Amino acid sequence: MGLLSLGTPLSWPDTKALADHVREHGITQFLYTWDRWAGRKGEPLLWGDEIEYIVVSLLDDKKRASLSLRQSEILEELKNVVGDLCDEQPEKSMVIPTFHPEYGMYMLESTPGCPLGPHLKDLVGVEANMRFRRKLARSHLRPNEVPMTITSFPRLGVTDQPFTDPECMSVADSPASQSLFVGKGVTNPHARFPTLTGNIRSRRGSKVAINVPIYKDTNTPSPFVDPTIPYDRQLWPGDSEAKNGAAKPDHIYMDAMAFGMGCCCLQITFQAFNVDEARRMYDALVPVAPIMLALTACSPAFRGYLADVDARWDVIAGSVDDRTEEERGLKPLKNDKYRIPKSRYDSVDCYIANDVRNKAEFNDISCPINDEVFQRLRAHGIDEALANHVAHLFIRDPLVIFSERVDQDDEDSMDHFENIQSTNWQTIRFKPPPPNSNIAWRVEFRSMEVQLTDFENAAFSIFIVLLTRAILSFNLNFYMPISQVDENMHRAQKRNAAREQKFHFRKWVFPLGKAPAHMDCRSRAASPNGFRTSPESTENNSSSVPHSASTASFNLESDSKCTSPSTPHFEVDDETEEMTLDELINGKAEFPGLLGVVNAYVNSLNVDVATKCDIRKYLNLIKERAAGKLVTPAAWIRNFITSHPEYKHDSVVSEVINYDLLKAIDEV
């Protein structure tokens, strides 16, 4: 959740009044960082994941699985343990994981503790690190508590039975969210979180309103009007909203930040060689984000019902949507400055690289910018693409300001910049270097849902890191219209998207002018016009993973689907086509597939067979899931629910079904 400064949060009116102050100083801070870092290069690949857990309390006598609201105690204990481990092993290079607070009081976040390195063995080591983290967390919980990597808790916010442990915390009593379903007990009490929740509601002018289509089973009433919503409650001003149309028929209605920010995900951050590489990497990953969302889908149930979606994205987007009616286009602009098409939590709106391949026509959706900020950045010599990106982030207001942090030394702090940046939750994040540290330009991949097992989480982490290496080494071009990326985001969340949807993607991904004119994919490796490392890449140390491949075979496996590509000369209109996930990952015709380029990259490395075999084990998961031979966690969970003997084909995930499901997941 970004930074957790301590202090006294200002009221919403006081926060709003300081918005320009934060934006102005935020840009000053960014410019200081820019001046310090813009010319620097030669940073090694360092990377790390973030995994979020839901701590489930299994009450066997009641056959109930609840959310354990003990984050603060658990973190306190883990802090001591981690401290002890560090004291015991000061000389060993063993990495001690770290645990962080999260929005939900039932959540934990863990990271490796220190960034991982660039070698294949570092990649392979991530699973052991993840297992260690889970074991560490688990061994400091109560015997009936389990840290689970599930994306959404199926019964968060039900009104028929308690869903928290302790039970009394299931009461919806939160003045910050005014939710009909969840109380203050589910939200981390650190001032930042309730303040965020309350200020989003205040800024928007109403509660957030999330409506996820319900999965219509044979016994689901049609139209479905949720009988469990307390429509007539009169506790807070927002209580009448559900009755007055915020809760839509045929949907699962949710009205609080907790429903979205209470979901768990898997994020990967990696450091780039220099700022230009970070920007190219960012752009290349933009079209990959929806693909990976579909492939990792893990959230088919919300608030006690099966949904007609498999993934969390729109739920989180809705859960922090602070836009006013004017900004949403429901009223003419009067008090607000911009029409804003998306929530602050949503997919990327513009590419950012200074690259001829980043053509204007690919940036084809509305991307309002803060003109003043744009002019300031341009005047400082920052190019248009990056200025545009930052100016777009800076159309937003700060949501939480601590009175103690209003005045900062801009040369020494990035707090005001991060205030805006860290509440722009997009699929990819471009992370500038923090002040007073060696950490350089980084890119974060944020779309993936967390997987049930560490093996899967490791596999997806490894895949993404290797994909970034392949993109750089082969100088791949993934540019496509952002409108099509957004269309893919919608498709990626649909029920069974991994099997049933097609996704737009760029047909020809190899560098222009370097297209091999004939041959099967294997001979590309020997082609003098083959795929070279980008100039920046070759400057780097060739012994490490990121920059050692200069040529490669795209035909790792004997059953390659590659055939002769024709010389590509596409107009924008036909630069992309729709592909299944199998085609996108495993390749077809002249399209090598994302796994194809990863395999080629791995093959090009001079490492021992055993390590390659280790890597292959993880990559096989990606391959088989994309091919449909393995199902997504969402499909597995959905199937478990619908084939449970107690399931009445009415879309309801009852307490017993939920309990059996979580027991089964724990056994996995």
Q: What is the total count of residues that contact ligand ADP (CB under 6 A)?
A: 17
Number of CB atoms found within 10 A of residue 564's CB: 12
Site for ligand ADP in 4-63 (CB under 6 A): 46-50
Read off the tokens for 354: 């200074």
Find out whether 140 and 78 touch, Cβ atoms under 8 Å. yes
* Nearer residue to ligand ADP within complex by CB, 64 or 280: 280
The residue from 308, 310, 444, 582 that contacts ligand ADP (CB under 6 A) is: 444
Question: Quick one: what does residue 296 bind among Mg ion, ligand ADP, none, with the CB cut-off 5 to 8 Å set by partner type?
Answer: none
Which span sits near ligand ADP by CB under 6 A: 253-261, 265-273, 488-496, 644-652? 265-273
Q: Which is nearer to Mg ion, 226 or 449 (CB)?
A: 449
Could you tell me if 50 and 109 are in contact, meaning their C-beta atoms sit under 8 angstroms apart?
yes
Residue 608, beta-bridge partner list: none
Measured from the CB of residue 576, what is the shortest distance to ligand ADP in angstroms? 30
Segment contacting Mg ion (CB under 5 A): 107-115, 282-290, 336-344, 610-618? 107-115
Instruction: Indicate whether 82 belongs to the interface with ligand ADP (CB under 6 A).
Output: no
- Alpha-carbon Rg for the chain, nearest whole angstrom, is 24
332 contact partners, CB below 8 Å, separation of at least 6: 326
Q: Which two tokens stand for residue 80?
A: 């001591």
* Residue 270 binds which of ligand ADP, Mg ion, none (CB < 5-8 A, kind-dependent): ligand ADP
Considering CB distances under 5 to 8 angstroms, the limit depending on partner class, which of Mg ion, ligand ADP, none binds residue 122?
A: none
Backbone angles phi and psi of 540, in degrees to 5? -85, 165
Report which of 513, 509, 530, 517 is spatially closest to residue 575, judged by C-alpha positions: 509
In angstroms, the CA 126 to CA 380 distance is 41
Centroid of chain to Cα 309: 17
Q: What is the DSSP letter of 3?
A: -
Q: Which residue has the tokens 């689901």?
A: 220
109 binds Mg ion (CB under 5 A): yes
For residue 248, CA distances in Å to 212, 224, 238, 496 come to 9, 9, 16, 23
Mark the segment that binds ligand ADP (CB under 6 A) among 213-221, 376-384, 439-447, 488-496: 439-447
Please tell me the distance from the alpha carbon of residue 198 to that of residue 185, in angstroms, as a whole number: 15
> Which positions from 249 through 278 interact with Mg ion, judged by CB under 5 A?
267
- The Cβ-side half-sphere exposure at 665, using a 13 Å CA radius, reads 33
What is the rounded CA–CA span in Å between residue 329 and residue 318? 16
Tell me: does residue 274 bind ligand ADP (CB under 6 A). Answer: no
Task: Please select the residue that binds ligand ADP; options are 203, 303, 442, 561, rule is CB under 6 A.
Answer: 442
Nearest to ligand ADP by Cβ — which residue? Answer: 48
From 1-9, 68-76, 432-440, 604-612, give the range in contact with Mg ion by CB under 5 A.
Answer: 1-9
Q: Copy the structure tokens of residue 579.
A: 């592909």
Torsions phi, psi of 194, nearest 5? -60, -30
Instruction: Please list every residue from 181 through 240 that binds ligand ADP, using CB under 6 A.
Output: none
- The correct pick among 187, 195, 271, 651 for binding ligand ADP (CB under 6 A) is 271
Residue closer to ligand ADP, measured from CB, 37 or 231: 37
Site string for ligand ADP, 99-118 (x = CB under 6 A): -x----------xx--x---
Interface residues with Mg ion (CB under 5 A) are 2, 50, 109, 267
Interface residues with ligand ADP (CB under 6 A) are 2, 46-50, 100, 111-112, 115, 267, 269-271, 439, 442, 444
